[in-house]
Amino acid sequence: MNFKKIIAIYKKELLDLLRDRRTVVSSIVIPIILYPLIMIGFSSMMSRQEMKMEQKEVTIYVQDNLQDEKSEKVLGEFEQIENLQLMQPVQNSQLQTYLDLLQEDSIQAVVTINDSINSAGYEVLQLKIYYNNAEENSSEAYSRLKQTLPEIEKQLVASRLQKLQVDTEVLDAINTESENVAPPTKMFGFILGRILPYLLILMTISSGSVVASDLVAGEKERGTLETILVSAADRMDIVIGKFLTIITFSIITVLLNLMSMFISIRYILIQMTTEVTAVSLPIGNFVLILVIMIPLVTLFSAILLSLSTYSRNIKEAQSYQMPILFTAIILSMISFLPGFKLNYGFALIPIVNFALLFQGILTGSFHLGYFLTVIGSTLVLDVIAVKISLNLFNNEKVLFRTAPEESYKFWGKKNRQNIFTTRIAIILYFAIFLALIYLGGKWQTQEFISGMIKTQLLLILLPVLVILRISKQDTKKALQIKASKPLNYLVVLLGFIPILIVVISVTQLINYLFPIPESYLKNLSEIISMKDQSLWLNLGVIALLPAICEEVLFRGYFLRVFSQKGFWKGIVIVALMFGAFHMSPYRILPTGLLGVWLAYLALKGKSLHLPILAHFLNNGVTVIIDRFGEQIPFLSKLGNDNIPLWWALPALVILYFIYKFMENYNTENVRL
């Protein structure tokens, strides 16, 4: 790595970008103009609309079916409401006529007054308010009426008590006073903390994506990438130079966004005649946010550079960037949700951690441990993302990727092997995933046993068998349905308890970082137990059926597809797919670890029998624990996910020796 060459690449890319009018406008000009226009304009429009709604004349019709002293009092109070008029009744008109006028927005509310008797035998006015919540004028009329009714009720009760010669103060059982002790600055930070993280993250990604898509994918499209590749700079110098360029423009965007927000908010406060000294803007917090944005900016820059390197042109790069942008939008919106506070669990989730950290800084609830965890975990991801960018840039097949799109066809003698392509596997995965959401969940909710059987056989097993049949594959050969070496079966029997202990330990750690709701655990326990059914039926539906069907799909088909990318790479990819397949954020990592064990057995033992047996034992012991756990203390601890964490250490040692044995015992080529 040559620092001078990196700087030369960096200067060259900056000059090229500054000559690009589109990049300058989107990354520099828009942040300066956009926030003042949006924030000041929106604030002015909102204030103006609120004033207009308060001054808006609304008309209501009151159908007085009592016409006594109490109803006259109600009408008198309605007449005192500002900008509210009572419509005179139309001769021989029924209630439906006025309701039709309400639907047409000719009037904004209809009130009927009747009498009633409560359980104590006292007369009660029965008021019913008809309004159209889809119309703002009608909603405003309803709001004004609701604000007036408590005062009317208070007067009527006072009149009733006076007749009974009872002092009205007898009703004052509780005198409540409230005082908000939060200083104005903290309240302002609380409000600002809801929207600022979302806007910063959104603008950072959007500005970085514009620059990143042009730096590599744009050069591919223009045919200028080869020129820089034959220069004196090596690949690492080029990548780092481009990486620094994206970071620079992203930081400029963040800085301009913060400055623009600061100026816009200050202007709004002055326009609202608020004492700026009473609500001082948190300048120090803005500076701190700018500093800690750097690790997040570098992470986004590395991801966007990798996508640009992989893409063949700007259009393809932008299509890959859209899922990143949407994911970031959804995750950053956690700052809008009430009840979410930064903890060590959330501090490990990208984007979510920064959104909650920004919110904590603006409200003054800063925690050094959380801060260091957020920065540390992001820096680790930075290193991984930069490493991926370097690997992609050093891969000639990726850098000059011009191969045509893979065919979706997998039938016919010529295309039989197309069934084992990544593209077909991904399509099949998401098709089954959607089928589980729309069909499997419905079937299992209606009747669990039959729903589970239909889900496993029709949605998970059948698609694999169909595409194998259409492509005229030998099912047993394609899925490795054959016997393994004898001792491999013993390994499965010896290893299922240690792997279960590791999975439970990871679940306990997840529960510590992200507390699992009791309702979720209760529903999961009810699904597993089915104590009104026989033990053999439970084992068949919960253990045997998923062991066969899911292993055919994941360790049979998917593992064969993705193991072509490498032994461990294929194992990890299929394990992640297996974890996500169970559609629970609390089970992704534990189930993924189990998936690693199952895939390793399949590849090393060269047989689908091994993961089927291991899967059956894992699910089967869960059923046994639920049925007999109360009678056996050891099983009770496993069933309650309440084992001592130190148990994981001997379990990992046992798994290590099992791994060494498998490596020595199965020395043949394991690639499917």
CA 359, CA 371: separation in Å to the nearest integer? 12
CA 506, CA 444: separation in Å to the nearest integer? 28
pLDDT band at 11 (very low <50, low <70, confident <90, very high): confident
Q: Are residues 258 and 358 in the same domain?
A: yes
What is the pLDDT at residue 670? 47
What is the pLDDT at residue 2? 74
pLDDT band at 671 (very low <50, low <70, confident <90, very high): very low
The token pair that represents 10 in the structure block: 């960096």
Residue 239 lies in a domain: yes
The token pair that represents 414 in the structure block: 């010529």
- Residue 187: which of 281, 109, 104 has the closest Cα? 281
Give all strands of the β-sheet with 84-86 in edge-to-edge order.
84-86, 58-64, 109-117, 123-130
Residue 63's H or E segment, with its range, is strand 58-64
Does residue 119 have a pLDDT over 80?
Answer: no
Let me know how many helices (H) and strands (E) the chain has, helices first. Answer: 31, 4
Question: Integer distance in angstroms from the first to the last C-alpha of the chain?
Answer: 39
170, 194, 226 - which closes a domain: 170
Residue with tokens 């969940």: 441
What is the pLDDT at residue 267? 67
Mean pLDDT over 508-528 rounds to 68
Residue with tokens 């045997």: 544
Which residues are within 8 A (CB) of 160 and not within 5 positions of it... i.e. 6 or more apart? 122
Q: Are residues 255 and 355 in the same domain?
A: yes
Does residue 489 have a pLDDT over 90?
Answer: yes
CA 475, CA 605: separation in Å to the nearest integer? 18
Alpha carbon 155 to chain centroid, angstroms = 51
The token pair that represents 555 in the structure block: 């360790």
Residue 446 lies in a domain: no
Q: Are residues 230 and 137 in the same domain?
A: no
Quick one: CA torsion of 600, 604, 607, 612, rounded to 10 degrees?
-30
What is the pLDDT at residue 136? 82
- Residue 523: which of 576, 580, 586, 581 has the closest Cα? 586
Name the residue with higher pLDDT: 517 or 225: 225
Mean pLDDT over 65-75 rounds to 83
Residue ranges making up the domain that contains 29: 3-35+183-399
Q: Are residues 102 and 225 in the same domain?
A: no
Q: Are residues 355 and 265 in the same domain?
A: yes
Residue 109's H or E segment, with its range, is strand 109-117
CA 112, CA 99: separation in Å to the nearest integer? 11
373, 399, 425 - which closes a domain: 399
What is the pLDDT at residue 607? 92
What is the pLDDT at residue 525? 61
Which residues on neighbouring strands pair with residue 564, listed in sequence order?
Answer: none
pLDDT tens digit sequence for 623-655: 887 776 666 665 565 655 667 888 889 999 999
What is the pLDDT at residue 421? 86
pLDDT tens digit sequence for 20-52: 666 666 666 666 676 667 666 666 666 666 666
In one letter, which amino acid is 144? R
Q: Are residues 10 and 121 in the same domain?
A: no
- 130 φ, ψ to 5°? -100, 130
Name the residue with higher pLDDT: 587 or 279: 587
Q: Is residue 289 classed exposed, middle or buried when 0-12, 13-18 and 19+ CB atoms within 10 A define those classes?
A: buried
Mean pLDDT over 450-460 rounds to 90
CA 90, CA 97: separation in Å to the nearest integer? 9
The token pair that represents 141 in the structure block: 């009329």
Q: Are residues 657 and 511 in the same domain?
A: yes
pLDDT band at 276 (very low <50, low <70, confident <90, very high): very low
What is the pLDDT at residue 405? 52
pLDDT band at 275 (very low <50, low <70, confident <90, very high): very low
The token pair that represents 316 in the structure block: 């393809």
Q: Are residues 165 and 189 in the same domain?
A: no
Residue 436 lies in a domain: no
What is the pLDDT at residue 630? 64
- 128 φ, ψ to 5°? -125, 125
Which residues on neighbouring strands pair with residue 116, listed in sequence order?
Answer: 124
- Residue 285: which of 199, 210, 185, 373 has the closest Cα? 185
Percentage of the chain modeled with pLDDT above 70: 82
Q: Using an 8 Å Cβ cutoff, are 197 and 358 in contact?
A: yes
The token pair that represents 222 in the structure block: 């223009």
Residue 468 lies in a domain: no
CA 654, CA 499: separation in Å to the nearest integer? 9
CA angle 300, 303, 305 (to 5 degrees): 105
pLDDT tens digit sequence for 145-166: 888 888 888 888 888 778 777 7
Mean pLDDT lowest among 1-15, 292-306, 513-527: 513-527
Q: Using an 8 Å Cβ cutoff, are 551 and 460 in contact?
A: no
145, 170, 195 - which closes a domain: 170
Where do runs of H (alpha helix) occur along 368-484?
A: 368-393, 396-399, 422-435, 441-446, 448-454, 462-470, 475-478
Q: Are residues 229 and 372 in the same domain?
A: yes
Does residue 231 have a pLDDT over 70?
Answer: yes
Which residues are within 8 A (CB) of 35 and not within 5 positions of it... i.e. 6 or more apart? 257, 260, 261, 264
Mean pLDDT lowest among 111-125, 310-324, 495-509: 111-125
pTM of the model: 0.67
pLDDT averaged over every residue in the chain: 80
Residues composing the chain: 672
What is the pLDDT at residue 333? 83
CATH of the domain at 124: 3.40.1710
DSSP single-letter state for residue 343: -
pLDDT tens digit sequence for 278-329: 555 567 777 788 788 888 888 888 888 888 888 888 888 888 888 888 888 8
Mean pLDDT lowest among 170-179, 313-322, 476-485: 170-179
Residue 439 lies in a domain: no
Mean pLDDT over 61-90 rounds to 84
If one counts the domains in the chain, the total is 3
Residue 64 lies in a domain: yes
Q: Are residues 316 and 339 in the same domain?
A: yes
pLDDT tens digit sequence for 349-408: 888 888 888 888 877 777 888 888 889 988 998 888 888 888 888 887 777 765 555 555
Q: Tell me how crowded residue 607 is: count the other CB atoms within 10 A of its CB.
A: 22
Q: Are residues 97 and 205 in the same domain?
A: no
Mean pLDDT lowest among 416-420, 552-556, 607-611: 416-420
Q: What are the CA-CA distances from residue 113 to residues 79, 175, 391, 472, 590 (Å)?
A: 15, 31, 77, 77, 62
pLDDT tens digit sequence for 195-209: 777 877 887 787 788
What is the pLDDT at residue 652? 92
pLDDT tens digit sequence for 393-447: 888 777 776 555 555 555 555 555 578 888 889 989 999 998 988 888 888 878 8
CA 231, CA 464: separation in Å to the nearest integer? 50
Reading phi first (left if > 0) and then psi (alpha if -120 to 50, else beta), residue 180 is in beta
Q: Are residues 113 and 187 in the same domain?
A: no
Please say whether the dihedral angle defined by the alpha carbons of residues 576, 577, 580 and 581, taken in this order, is positive or negative: negative
CA 655, CA 606: separation in Å to the nearest integer? 19
The token pair that represents 600 in the structure block: 């390793």
CA 57, CA 53: separation in Å to the nearest integer? 9
The token pair that represents 205 in the structure block: 């990604």
CA 334, CA 353: separation in Å to the nearest integer? 10
At residue 578, the 3 state secondary structure works out as helix
